[in-house]
Every structure is written in structure tokens, then in C-alpha cells.
A and B are shown apart, each in its own frame.
Chain A
């Protein structure tokens, strides 16, 4: 069975500093990995995904994530944080070897960017 761990409930960073939101996963087949963001009173917005190819994936709003197979990680990063990046971030995984398309999510990490 698939699982996702987001070890930090909250990440605090000052505006302009780099940010990292951690995610590790467990899946028996090929991992399809996703990051979503939820702003207050909004739905989930897709940020980026890794399916295959280059381990460094670039997404919306300047975010990127690095797939690390040996460490089973898919950390979300941004070189310079903005106050407007403050939101709830979810990592998700899907087993690419099965016909089932359900996503398994982590518990979410709240990012707070201070001015």
C-alpha cells in the first residue's frame, strides 16, 4: 500500500529566504508524485508532478521539487519565499504500476512566510 509522510506540521521562513517542505513516500511500484497547495478558503491547486525523466521538476509560482529514489523523497523547494506563498501544502503519491488512479496524500504542511 502507498503512504506519504510530511514530517513537519509547519514550516516558518522569512521572506526572501529559500524554503523546503519535506515529503517522503512509500509505494511498491513506480511512484507518480504530486504537490498541491491550498490557500485559505480555496480548493487544492496543482503545483507540479514527477512521473518520469529529469529528477528536478519545475512547477507553478517558481516552485520546484527533486525526486530522490534512493531516499524515497520528493521535497518541495523555492529559492526565494514570498509572503503570498503562505498556505497549506500537500504531497501525494500514486502507484504507476496499477490501473488504480487514486492519490494517497500526506497530512499537509503549513508554510508561514513572515515579512
Chain B
């Protein structure tokens, strides 16, 4: 069974540019989550999809971040325009259903904004 995959693995962009990150969850997992780790600090929650619906987007930092999950399969996270403080590692995770299910994480996308 394939795990959570993320693309790209690394991205280097200049301040003001746009970047789109992609996450493919484990097949059959309805829940998809985005997290990020900035400046080596704790990993922070961004948002949670159940299928194509946003269940919880309380962690989204501002309106420069837009997450979508059309069709309830893969998800994209767009940052537009990127700022220096957006640099960090963006993780995607997925889980099967409601309750106490484990969240399985992807390898992350390392974003550097110059």
C-alpha cells in the first residue's frame, strides 16, 4: 500500500511569488490534514479536510494560504504571495475515518522563500 506522497520535495522561490504544494493521501482515506514546521519549532496544524469539505481550518495563518481538495482525492496548498516567514516544512497526513485513527504523514515539502 502506497503511503502519503507530497510534491515537490523541495521548493525555493522568491518573496512575492506563488507556490503550490500537492498531497496525495493514502487510497481510501477520507481525512486529509496539512501541518507545517517553521524555523525548527513545533509542528503546527493548518487545516483538515473530510473528503472535499473543510472540517477545520483554524490553523490557516492568513488569506495568502488557500487549500483545496477537489473530488476528495488529492489536495493542493497554494501560497500567494509567499513571504519570508512562510519558509519551513509542510507536511500532509491522512487517516481513514472518524475517531481515534492514526494520522499517517508524508515526507514533507521543504519550502524556502528568499
Interface residues of B in 94-108 (CB under 8 A from A): 95, 98, 100, 102-108
CB neighbours (8 Å) of B75 from chain A are none
Can you name the residue of chain B whose Cβ is closest to the Cβ of A6? B42
Contact of A101 with B31 in the complex, beta carbons under 8 Å = yes
Instruction: Name which of B43, B55, B104 has the most chain A CB atoms within 10 A of its CB.
Output: B43
Report how far A96 CA is from B101 CA in the complex, Å. 11
Contact of A101 with B44 in the complex, beta carbons under 8 Å = no
Contact of B100 with A32 in the complex, beta carbons under 8 Å = yes
Contact of B108 with A108 in the complex, beta carbons under 8 Å = no
Instruction: Name which of B33, B42, B58, B95 has the most chain A CB atoms within 10 A of its CB.
Output: B42
Can you name the residue of chain A whose Cβ is closest to the Cβ of B92? A43
Report how far A96 CA is from B93 CA in the complex, Å. 18
Contact of B31 with A43 in the complex, beta carbons under 8 Å = no
> In terms of DSSP, what is the predominant structure of the interface of chain B?
strand
Q: In the complex, how many residues of chain B place their beta carbon closer than 8 angstroms to a beta carbon of chain A?
A: 27
Contact of A102 with B48 in the complex, beta carbons under 8 Å = yes
Closest CB in chain A relative to B44 CB, distance in Å: 7
Can you name the residue of chain A whose Cβ is closest to the Cβ of B95? A101
CB neighbours (8 Å) of B14 from chain A are none
Contact of A101 with B33 in the complex, beta carbons under 8 Å = yes
Can you name the residue of chain B whose Cβ is closest to the Cβ of A30? B100
Contact of A105 with B43 in the complex, beta carbons under 8 Å = yes
Report how far A107 CA is from B31 CA in the complex, Å. 24
CB neighbours (8 Å) of A49 from chain B are 100, 102
CB neighbours (8 Å) of B105 from chain A are 36, 43-46
10 contacts between A and B (CB under 8 A): A4-B42, A43-B4, A43-B6, A44-B93, A45-B105, A100-B56, A101-B95, A102-B33, A103-B33, A107-B42
Residues of A within 8 A of B (CB): 4, 32, 34, 36, 42-46, 49, 51, 90, 92, 96, 100-108
